[in-house]
Structure 1
Amino acid sequence: MSTPLYQLKAEFFKTLGHPARIRVLELLSEREYAVAEMLPEVGIEPAHLSQQLAVLRRANLVVTRKEGSTVYYSLTSPHVAELLRVARTILSGVLAGQAELLADLKAAQGKTKPTA
Structure 2
Amino acid sequence: MSNFLYLFRGGDENFNKLSQEEKQAHMQVWATWMGGLTEEGRLVDGLPLGADGKVVENRGEVITNGPFAEGEEIVGGYLIVSAKDLAEAVEISKGCPIFDYEGSTVEVREIMSMDM
Name the TM-score, length of structure 1 as normaliser. 0.29
Query: Taking structure 2 as the reference length, what is the TM-score of the superposition?
Result: 0.29
Judging by fraction of residues, say which structure has more helix: 1
The structure with the largest strand share of the pair is 2
Question: Which structure has the higher relative contact order (CA within 8 Å, separation 6+)?
Answer: 2
Please tell me whether Structure 1 or Structure 2 has the larger radius of gyration of its CA atoms: 1
